[in-house]
Amino acid sequence: MERVEHRACFGGWQDVYQHASATLGCVMRFAIYLPPQAGHTKVPVLYWLSGLTCSEQNFITKAGAQRYAAEHGIAIVCPDTSPRGDAVADAEGYDLGKGAGFYVNATQAPWAAHYQMHDYVAHELPAVIEANFAVTSARAISGHSMGGHGALTLALRNPGLYRSVSAFSPIVAPMQVPWGQKAFAAYLGDDVTTWAQYDACALIKAAAEKLPILIDQGEADEFLDGQLKPWLLKGAADASGYPVCLRMQPGHDHSYYFIASFIGEHIAHHAFNLKSV
């Protein structure tokens, strides 16, 4: 593992590392914010999953989250959004291939060789983080858009892995919208029972663990009606008695200005859950 960026930030350090991922079969980068408290004690970790086209850089440069992480004493780990490198399959368009891993374990050629983002984020990355940094095994997860889908499905599929979950503008029903249908057909093939294992609306109906979910969604989001449809998750959650707090935010779009405006409240939500268990 090699540190490739190291920057003082709000009394802690905003670092970027690269490492050889066994799960993905390629070199991956991740960002980690270590708050000042990590200098003298172990801190819990929030995993942040970014959206289509993003890398480990977008959240750390644009969300303004470090201030809140420093206040609450929480580390933030941001993986990349897909496997990377010349050996990794790619496709035309921003919504499939590199930058668009959708946090699934691909079963279809040519994707299956490297696109195992679910297992990377759920298993390999936490093991790397917990072996190498001053962190506890208390974990939370959040993300934006495709990464909101990732956060919700990772939490719903893996009881006990996280103590807290939230999302911004998540793709809640990938089986029912164009982004998800295109990606799942490519990565997972034709069997929709496999698709359902990565669909928050499907998973929430049978969830064994009911972590309260906080979702913020901009009312002026250009993808709201075509790709996101958060009311589908709210409806499924209400029907099965799962607690989802969906907040529709007037005027806000799909951008990082939206995330920046509410990331402080999400980090407070995670800090409460991470420290109260």
Q: One of 82, 145, 164, 166 is an active-site residue; which one?
A: 145
What is the token pair recorded at 189? 């093939």
Only segment of 3-11, 121-129, 179-187, 228-236 that touches a second copy (CB under 8 A): 3-11
Applying the rule CB under 8 A, the residues between 81 and 140 that interact with a second copy are none
Say how many residues touch a second copy, by CB under 8 A. 26
Under 8 Å between Cβ of 80 and 55:
yes
Rounded-to-integer distance, Cα 214 and Cα 87, Å: 38
Does residue 53 belong to the site contacting a second copy (CB under 8 A)? no
Does residue 66 belong to the site contacting a second copy (CB under 8 A)? yes
Is 238 a known active-site residue? no
Q: Which residues have CB under 8 Å from 130's CB, separation 6+?
A: 45, 136, 137
Is 145 a known active-site residue? yes
- Report the C-alpha dihedral over residues 230, 121, 72, 18, rounded to 10 degrees: -130
What is the smallest separation between the CB atom of 95 and a second copy, expressed in angstroms?
22
Does residue 64 belong to the site contacting a second copy (CB under 8 A)? yes
Does residue 11 belong to the site contacting a second copy (CB under 8 A)? yes
Taking alpha carbons only, the member of 189, 111, 182, 109 closest to residue 146 is: 182
Is 253 a known active-site residue? no
Rounded-to-integer distance, Cα 167 and Cα 145, Å: 8
Q: Give contact residues for a second copy (rule: CB under 8 A).
A: 7-11, 13-14, 61-62, 64, 66-67, 218, 220, 249-253, 255-258, 260-261, 264
What residues are labeled active site? 145, 221, 254
